[in-house]
Structure 1
Amino acid sequence: MTFYDAVYDAVRHIPKGKVATYGQIAALAGSPRASRVVGGALCRCKDPTVPCHRVVNRLGGMAPQGAFGLPGEQERRLLAEGIALRKDATVDLSIYLWNP
Protein backbone atom coordinates (compact mmCIF):
# COMPACT_ATOMS: atom_id res chain seq x y z
CA MET A 1 0.00 0.00 0.00
CA THR A 2 1.36 3.43 -0.92
CA PHE A 3 1.22 6.44 1.39
CA TYR A 4 -1.48 7.95 -0.84
CA ASP A 5 -3.54 4.75 -0.52
CA ALA A 6 -3.17 4.91 3.27
CA VAL A 7 -4.30 8.57 3.21
CA TYR A 8 -7.37 7.76 1.14
CA ASP A 9 -8.23 4.85 3.41
CA ALA A 10 -7.98 7.04 6.52
CA VAL A 11 -10.11 9.79 4.97
CA ARG A 12 -12.81 7.29 4.01
CA HIS A 13 -13.22 6.57 7.74
CA ILE A 14 -14.08 10.17 8.71
CA PRO A 15 -17.80 10.05 9.51
CA LYS A 16 -20.30 12.40 7.95
CA GLY A 17 -20.62 15.51 10.10
CA LYS A 18 -17.02 15.34 11.35
CA VAL A 19 -13.66 16.63 10.10
CA ALA A 20 -10.04 15.62 10.54
CA THR A 21 -6.87 17.63 10.18
CA TYR A 22 -4.10 17.01 7.69
CA GLY A 23 -1.86 16.10 10.62
CA GLN A 24 -4.32 13.53 11.95
CA ILE A 25 -4.55 11.88 8.55
CA ALA A 26 -0.76 11.87 8.17
CA ALA A 27 -0.43 10.11 11.54
CA LEU A 28 -3.15 7.58 10.70
CA ALA A 29 -1.43 6.90 7.37
CA GLY A 30 1.80 6.12 9.20
CA SER A 31 3.83 9.29 8.67
CA PRO A 32 2.91 11.91 11.29
CA ARG A 33 5.17 14.62 9.86
CA ALA A 34 3.73 14.41 6.34
CA SER A 35 0.70 16.68 6.61
CA ARG A 36 1.74 18.64 3.52
CA VAL A 37 1.97 15.41 1.55
CA VAL A 38 -1.58 14.61 2.69
CA GLY A 39 -2.68 17.89 1.14
CA GLY A 40 -1.02 16.92 -2.12
CA ALA A 41 -2.62 13.48 -2.05
CA LEU A 42 -6.08 14.94 -1.50
CA CYS A 43 -5.57 17.55 -4.20
CA ARG A 44 -4.79 14.78 -6.69
CA CYS A 45 -7.59 12.45 -5.58
CA LYS A 46 -10.19 11.71 -8.25
CA ASP A 47 -12.03 8.97 -6.31
CA PRO A 48 -15.52 10.16 -5.29
CA THR A 49 -15.58 7.65 -2.40
CA VAL A 50 -12.90 9.69 -0.61
CA PRO A 51 -14.57 12.61 1.24
CA CYS A 52 -11.61 14.96 0.87
CA HIS A 53 -13.76 17.93 1.89
CA ARG A 54 -13.75 16.59 5.47
CA VAL A 55 -10.06 17.39 5.92
CA VAL A 56 -9.13 20.85 7.23
CA ASN A 57 -6.00 22.49 8.56
CA ARG A 58 -4.98 22.51 12.23
CA LEU A 59 -7.00 25.69 12.79
CA GLY A 60 -10.13 24.37 11.08
CA GLY A 61 -9.39 26.27 7.87
CA MET A 62 -10.41 25.25 4.41
CA ALA A 63 -8.24 24.13 1.52
CA PRO A 64 -7.13 26.85 -0.92
CA GLN A 65 -9.92 28.22 -3.10
CA GLY A 66 -10.49 26.07 -6.14
CA ALA A 67 -9.09 22.88 -4.59
CA PHE A 68 -12.51 21.29 -5.08
CA GLY A 69 -13.21 22.80 -8.47
CA LEU A 70 -15.42 25.75 -7.66
CA PRO A 71 -14.63 28.41 -5.06
CA GLY A 72 -16.55 27.68 -1.86
CA GLU A 73 -17.16 24.04 -2.74
CA GLN A 74 -15.55 22.65 0.42
CA GLU A 75 -17.65 24.97 2.56
CA ARG A 76 -20.81 23.99 0.66
CA ARG A 77 -20.14 20.28 1.16
CA LEU A 78 -19.42 20.70 4.88
CA LEU A 79 -22.57 22.78 5.39
CA ALA A 80 -24.59 20.12 3.55
CA GLU A 81 -23.36 17.59 6.14
CA GLY A 82 -24.49 19.78 9.02
CA ILE A 83 -21.10 21.23 9.91
CA ALA A 84 -21.52 24.86 10.89
CA LEU A 85 -18.80 27.33 10.03
CA ARG A 86 -17.63 30.22 12.16
CA LYS A 87 -17.85 33.77 10.86
CA ASP A 88 -14.25 33.46 9.65
CA ALA A 89 -15.21 30.37 7.58
CA THR A 90 -13.38 27.91 9.82
CA VAL A 91 -14.68 24.76 11.50
CA ASP A 92 -14.85 24.69 15.30
CA LEU A 93 -12.61 21.70 16.00
CA SER A 94 -13.82 21.49 19.60
CA ILE A 95 -17.19 20.44 18.18
CA TYR A 96 -16.54 18.72 14.86
CA LEU A 97 -13.10 17.11 15.14
CA TRP A 98 -13.22 13.35 14.54
CA ASN A 99 -11.51 11.40 17.28
CA PRO A 100 -10.82 7.90 15.90
Structure 2
Amino acid sequence: MKHETLGFFEKVYNVVRCIPYGRVSSYGAIAKYLGATKSARIVGYAMNNSGGKDVPAHRVVNRKGLLTGKHHFEGTNLMQQLLENEGVEVVENQIQNFDTLFWDPSKELGEL
Protein backbone atom coordinates (compact mmCIF):
# COMPACT_ATOMS: atom_id res chain seq x y z
CA MET A 1 0.00 0.00 0.00
CA LYS A 2 1.30 3.46 -0.85
CA HIS A 3 2.64 5.64 1.93
CA GLU A 4 0.16 8.44 1.02
CA THR A 5 -2.74 6.02 1.47
CA LEU A 6 -1.54 5.09 4.95
CA GLY A 7 -1.36 8.80 5.84
CA PHE A 8 -4.92 9.23 4.58
CA PHE A 9 -6.05 6.23 6.65
CA GLU A 10 -4.66 7.90 9.81
CA LYS A 11 -6.59 11.08 8.98
CA VAL A 12 -9.74 8.97 8.54
CA TYR A 13 -9.14 7.25 11.90
CA ASN A 14 -8.74 10.63 13.61
CA VAL A 15 -12.10 11.80 12.25
CA VAL A 16 -13.87 8.53 13.11
CA ARG A 17 -12.58 8.74 16.68
CA CYS A 18 -14.52 12.03 16.96
CA ILE A 19 -17.91 10.49 16.12
CA PRO A 20 -19.88 10.68 19.37
CA TYR A 21 -21.29 7.64 21.15
CA GLY A 22 -24.72 6.81 19.73
CA ARG A 23 -24.18 8.75 16.49
CA VAL A 24 -23.11 7.65 12.99
CA SER A 25 -21.40 9.15 9.98
CA SER A 26 -20.90 8.05 6.39
CA TYR A 27 -17.91 7.13 4.27
CA GLY A 28 -18.69 10.00 1.90
CA ALA A 29 -19.07 12.64 4.62
CA ILE A 30 -15.69 11.69 6.05
CA ALA A 31 -14.06 11.74 2.60
CA LYS A 32 -15.59 15.14 1.86
CA TYR A 33 -14.38 16.54 5.18
CA LEU A 34 -10.85 15.38 4.37
CA GLY A 35 -10.99 17.13 0.98
CA ALA A 36 -11.23 13.88 -0.96
CA THR A 37 -14.88 14.00 -2.06
CA LYS A 38 -14.64 11.03 -4.43
CA SER A 39 -12.77 8.81 -1.96
CA ALA A 40 -15.64 7.28 0.02
CA ARG A 41 -14.47 3.83 -1.03
CA ILE A 42 -10.98 4.52 0.35
CA VAL A 43 -12.58 5.56 3.65
CA GLY A 44 -14.23 2.13 3.57
CA TYR A 45 -10.85 0.48 3.00
CA ALA A 46 -9.52 2.41 6.00
CA MET A 47 -12.38 1.07 8.13
CA ASN A 48 -11.60 -2.46 6.95
CA ASN A 49 -8.02 -1.98 8.15
CA SER A 50 -8.85 -0.31 11.46
CA GLY A 51 -8.80 -3.42 13.64
CA GLY A 52 -6.77 -2.99 16.82
CA LYS A 53 -6.45 0.77 16.32
CA ASP A 54 -9.14 1.93 18.79
CA VAL A 55 -11.35 3.22 15.98
CA PRO A 56 -15.17 2.97 16.34
CA ALA A 57 -15.59 1.74 12.76
CA HIS A 58 -19.09 0.47 13.55
CA ARG A 59 -20.24 4.12 13.54
CA VAL A 60 -19.47 4.53 9.83
CA VAL A 61 -22.21 3.49 7.39
CA ASN A 62 -23.17 4.29 3.82
CA ARG A 63 -24.94 7.50 2.80
CA LYS A 64 -28.35 5.90 3.22
CA GLY A 65 -27.67 4.54 6.69
CA LEU A 66 -27.07 0.94 5.63
CA LEU A 67 -24.56 -1.28 7.44
CA THR A 68 -22.65 -2.03 4.25
CA GLY A 69 -19.41 -2.79 6.12
CA LYS A 70 -20.89 -5.32 8.53
CA HIS A 71 -19.26 -8.32 6.85
CA HIS A 72 -15.86 -6.94 7.95
CA PHE A 73 -16.75 -7.41 11.61
CA GLU A 74 -16.31 -10.73 13.40
CA GLY A 75 -19.51 -12.65 13.94
CA THR A 76 -22.77 -12.26 12.10
CA ASN A 77 -24.20 -9.12 13.65
CA LEU A 78 -21.34 -7.53 15.61
CA MET A 79 -21.62 -4.14 13.87
CA GLN A 80 -25.35 -4.02 14.59
CA GLN A 81 -24.84 -5.16 18.19
CA LEU A 82 -22.22 -2.47 18.82
CA LEU A 83 -24.58 0.20 17.45
CA GLU A 84 -27.53 -1.12 19.43
CA ASN A 85 -25.41 -1.09 22.60
CA GLU A 86 -25.10 2.67 21.98
CA GLY A 87 -28.87 3.06 21.60
CA VAL A 88 -28.92 3.11 17.79
CA GLU A 89 -31.89 1.20 16.40
CA VAL A 90 -31.12 -0.99 13.38
CA VAL A 91 -33.81 -2.79 11.37
CA GLU A 92 -32.78 -5.02 8.44
CA ASN A 93 -29.30 -3.46 8.30
CA GLN A 94 -30.81 0.04 8.15
CA ILE A 95 -30.20 2.69 10.82
CA GLN A 96 -33.51 4.05 12.02
CA ASN A 97 -33.78 7.85 12.43
CA PHE A 98 -30.61 8.16 10.34
CA ASP A 99 -31.09 11.89 9.69
CA THR A 100 -31.31 12.56 13.44
CA LEU A 101 -28.31 10.39 14.33
CA PHE A 102 -26.12 11.48 11.42
CA TRP A 103 -22.93 13.26 12.46
CA ASP A 104 -21.36 15.44 9.76
CA PRO A 105 -17.69 16.14 10.45
CA SER A 106 -17.78 19.25 8.23
CA LYS A 107 -20.39 20.79 10.54
CA GLU A 108 -19.11 19.39 13.83
CA LEU A 109 -15.34 19.71 13.48
CA GLY A 110 -15.04 22.86 11.37
CA GLU A 111 -12.25 23.22 8.84
CA LEU A 112 -9.15 21.06 8.80
Q: Common fold, TM-score beyond 0.5?
A: yes
In structure 1, the gaps of 5 or more residues are none
Specify the alignment match of 1:19 in structure 2.
24
Residue identity over aligned pairs, in percent, reads 32
In structure 2, the gaps of 5 or more residues are none
- Structure 1 residue 38 and structure 2 residue 43: aligned? yes
Structure 2 counterpart of 1:88, which letter?
E
Specify the alignment match of 1:89 in structure 2.
93
Q: Relative to structure 2, which stretch is displaced further, 7-16 or 65-74?
A: 65-74
Runs of 4+ in 1 over 6 A off after TM superposition: none
Q: Is the 8 A contact 2:44 2:69 kept in 1?
A: no
Tell me the matched-pair count. 99
Distance 1:11 1:64, change over 3 A: closer
**Higher helix residue share:** 2
- Structure 1 residue 29 and structure 2 residue 34: aligned? yes
TM-score using structure 1 length: 0.89
Q: CA RMSD in A?
A: 1.6
List per-residue Cα deviations over 1:10-54 (Å, max 9, x = no partner).
100000010000001111223111000111111011234210000
